[in-house]
Structure 1
Amino acid sequence: MNTYTVNGQRLHATLLESYRLSLNDDDKQVRLWFIEETKRYGCKHIVDQMGNIFAIRPGRNNDIPPIGMGSHLDTQPAGGKYDGIVGVNSAIEVLKVLHENNITTYAPIAAINWTNEEGARFPPAMLSSGVWAGAFELGWAHERKDLNGVGLKEELQRIDFLGDAPCDYQKNSLSAHFEVHIEQGPILEQTDLSVGVVTGVQAINWYSIELRGREQHCGTTPMNSRADTLLCAAKMIVKVNEVAHSVPGALASVAVINSTPQAINTLAGRVQFNIDARAPSDERLAFLDEELERELRHVASQEGVKVEKWDKFWNSPRTVFDRIAVDAVRKSAKDSGFAFVEIQSGAGHDSVYTARRCPTAMIFIRCKGGISHNPAEYSTSEDIQAGAQTLLGAVLHYDQLLSAQGNEKP
């Protein structure tokens, strides 16, 4: 059992309350803060071609890749101050504890800020960790644009965070990756536990659907002579909900819809909307995928509306985290005296992609009401401390395993 303790009050006080859409001016400021803060604990910094920042504290053996502690500092447009930020600040708190206690670990230890985890400005989510893991091509990612047509690469350049280091797991490797995150769900609160040991992440698909009907005058077109695209979309959205209810454990949601023209007396001729679909297994998500497309195309045919685009633009298969890394989290929680529950995450995280390239595990902490992506998001300083304490122990335990593998004497 380690005897080092994180400072929960200090950690809670460093949480930053602002809405940082990826690569906006506030994001630039918090990135600069992250670099200056981690310099105080002996870190050198790597900024890669996607703006990911690796703050690396040297170890006794700097010939091996660092143990990463990663999450994100970008937020949703109306998000809270805990999603992602708790994970980055917990990583910084671990660096502080190591520094204050003059601990030199065997492996280097890195606090990581992954760019554009939310995907709120530049879809899809977890874009930059995905490039690092080889799931997305760098050029394709650089060309992602926001709703105003501004490109990701040009924003990286504008805020001076287009780094030179390769965004590549082979050229900038990690020995492991641990991530603290608020649960964004109700399980820990319902079970009155502070810590969740995350064993994996459910499967996810994102779709963009585009419909084409007819622009017609609302006052002169009889109800039975219309190809009402917006009405069709509404019926399809209802069907999305019905299909999700029919597949055990599945979730499907529509949270974005756009129509043109925007005129009160003209029927919309074009509609675009997105679907977020999730399921506990790849097989169940594949079934949900088939049912959604079959049922929604049937609705469109009944309404006389053409489905011009059915684009499944992001797929994230079910992730199972590394057994040894998860065991390190379990051991740390036990050693710290925290009762815990094992959870499969319903939301995607950067750890989904790091898990493809290095041993990965996550730690969930309790959040009030399971609320997230909302200003009401809240975790107590005690719960944040529990997550950071578990992170500290897990990293030190994994470091000991690497030391043993390197045949280093205690």
Structure 2
Amino acid sequence: MSRALSNLQIDSARLWGSIHETAQFGATPKGGVRRLTLSAEDKQVRDWFRRACEDAGLEVHVDALGSMFGLRRGKDMSKLPVGLGSHLDTQPTGGKYDGVLGTLAALEVVRTLNDAGIETDAPICIVNWTNEEGSRFAPAMMASAAYVGDFTTHDILSRRDHDGVTVGEALDTIGYRGATPVGTQKLGAFVELHIEQGPILEAENKTIGVVDSGQGVLWYDGKIVGFESHAGSTPMPLRRDALATLSEIVLAVEAIAKKHGPNAVGTVGEAVIAKPSRNVIPGEIAFTVDCRSSDDAIMDALDADLRAAIKDIAARRKVEATLDLVWRKPATHFNPKLVDAVENAAKMLGFSHRRITSGAGHDACNLNTVMPTAMVFVPCKDGVSHNELEDATQTDCAAGANVLMHTVLALAGVAS
């Protein structure tokens, strides 16, 4: 790579300005962003992004699930584009950086290449994936999952939010049901920049996380059926208390995750007592369990240990307990050549860095099943995300965008 090219830097102030300009769409009083997918606020940011892409000379098209693609032509259009991007939707109490950084950094890469008059050999395609967060419609990452064939377009279009509105109806309402069939825009590779959403980079004072893997996920729906009886007149030894049973299960999940640590986590995130009353022993509870690891063998062990523990607890407490696996996503192992390209870019630019596992799911994890994929992480303050207090520095965001740009240049090549 020439010295001039290796010194190429994105416009840090322009990227920072784009992040804060788009943060006005769905801005919250606490400084965060509430921009649920396919909402009026999502339409605002999509319209902004479309105009910005067109102003940068990109050919923009929208697929049937609303994902937005901006194509920058390369010298050799017979080659598949190098994809980069993320998402623009947020959690109900989201921040300015989750997803947004990766999408706007992709735009900034294109703007920088335009300013420098650099033509790549292969084309480049920047992407805004629909509904990564899953906070309005389930599942999360639905558009990229449909792109790789995990769901049909019809299935996703029929999914409903809490108010009964379908994805298809919401797309029509904001005018973003595209004519292009899902999967039409082929990509040769994909690189996603994201805040870490964890505390490791900040704690170790590292600027760049070179993501080599993503945790696999086990999601369960559980149910405990005991016996409702009077809280005052039922002796303690004769109780079949569903809530007391759940308390043991929660501690078992914690203990099992620690047993298989440090490469394992486990969480009981929801619990609902049926017909709760102050003076009635809980007789029925529905609950959920989320277990994760980047090692598939550990995922198997988590599953086996969890089932054995629940069976033992239920028998001892004389209740019925069921545990249904509703989703298993295998661990993601990103393409070694792309991971090396990210690491090489970080080294060339002189940034401190480390290999890291993603604890959260991302569109890149879905795409990795059908194309070479990698991710770049930058620190976020205190590891906080999915929260209005989510924060990152301009310096770190620019560093990540520069690593993204030089990774893409290494993959797309510079036209001679």
Q: Which residue of 1 aligns with 2:308?
A: 294
Query: 1:182 and 2:195 equivalent?
Result: yes
Which of 62, 68, 74 lines up with 2:83 in the alignment? 68
The offset of 1:380, in angstroms, is 0.4
**2:294/2:332 contact within 8 Å kept:** no
Q: Which residue of 1 aligns with 2:94?
A: 79
The offset of 1:350, in angstroms, is 0.9
The offset of 1:224, in angstroms, is 4.7
The offset of 1:54, in angstroms, is 1.1
Q: Which residue of 2 aligns with 1:9?
A: 13
Query: 1:109 and 2:119 equivalent?
Result: no
Paired with 1:260 and 1:304, the residues of 2 have a C-alpha distance of 18
**2:65/2:130 contact within 8 Å kept:** yes
The offset of 1:361, in angstroms, is 1.0
Paired with 2:165 and 2:226, the residues of 1 have a C-alpha distance of 29
Which of 307, 323, 340 lines up with 2:336 in the alignment? 323
Q: Which residue of 2 aligns with 1:386?
A: 399
Query: What secondary structure sits across from 1:30 in the alignment?
Result: helix
Query: What secondary structure sits across from 1:14 in the alignment?
Result: helix
The offset of 1:302, in angstroms, is 3.1
Q: Deviations over 1:72-108 (max 9, x none)?
A: 1122222222111111111111121122223332222
Q: Which residue of 1 aligns with 2:28?
A: none
Q: Which residue of 2 aligns with 1:305?
A: 319
Range moving further from structure 2, 277-286 or 69-78: 69-78
**2:67/2:130 contact within 8 Å kept:** yes
Paired with 1:303 and 1:23, the residues of 2 have a C-alpha distance of 46
Which of 43, 47, 57 lines up with 2:58 in the alignment? 43
Paired with 1:266 and 1:158, the residues of 2 have a C-alpha distance of 46
Paired with 1:20 and 1:121, the residues of 2 have a C-alpha distance of 10
Q: Which amino acid aligns with 1:6?
A: I
**1:124/1:314 contact within 8 Å kept:** no
Paired with 2:132 and 2:40, the residues of 1 have a C-alpha distance of 17
Paired with 2:363 and 2:310, the residues of 1 have a C-alpha distance of 31
The offset of 1:33, in angstroms, is 1.6
Paired with 2:287 and 2:207, the residues of 1 have a C-alpha distance of 37
Query: What secondary structure sits across from 2:386 in the alignment?
Result: coil
Q: Which residue of 2 aligns with 1:260?
A: 274
Query: 1:56 and 2:71 equivalent?
Result: yes
Query: 1:271 and 2:275 equivalent?
Result: no
Query: 1:92 and 2:107 equivalent?
Result: yes
The offset of 1:374, in angstroms, is 1.9
Instruction: Provide the TM-score with structure 2 as the length reference.
Output: 0.89
Query: What secondary structure sits across from 1:86 in the alignment?
Result: helix
Paired with 2:165 and 2:141, the residues of 1 have a C-alpha distance of 19
The offset of 1:71, in angstroms, is 0.9
The offset of 1:365, in angstroms, is 0.5
Instruction: Provide the TM-score with structure 1 as the length reference.
Output: 0.90
User: Equivalences for 1:152-167 in 2 at 5 Å?
Assistant: 152-167=167-182
Paired with 2:48 and 2:230, the residues of 1 have a C-alpha distance of 55
Query: What secondary structure sits across from 1:107 in the alignment?
Result: coil
Query: 1:372 and 2:385 equivalent?
Result: yes
> Quick one: structure 1 residues 211 and 144, their matched pair in 2 at CA, closer, same or farther if it must change by over 3 Å?
farther
Q: Which amino acid aligns with 1:296?
A: I
Q: Deviations over 1:33-75 (max 9, x none)?
A: 2112211101122222222111222222333332111211122
Q: How many residues in Structure 1 have an aligned counterpart in Structure 2?
A: 400
> Quick one: structure 1 residues 25 and 312, their matched pair in 2 at CA, closer, same or farther if it must change by over 3 Å?
farther
Q: Deviations over 1:293-348 (max 9, x none)?
A: 2212332333343335x332222212111122222212222222222211122222
Q: Which residue of 2 aligns with 1:236?
A: 249
Range moving further from structure 2, 191-200 or 384-393: 191-200
Runs of 5+ in structure 2 lacking a partner?
24-31
Paired with 1:380 and 1:194, the residues of 2 have a C-alpha distance of 11
The offset of 1:285, in angstroms, is 0.8
Paired with 2:51 and 2:251, the residues of 1 have a C-alpha distance of 49
The offset of 1:10, in angstroms, is 2.2
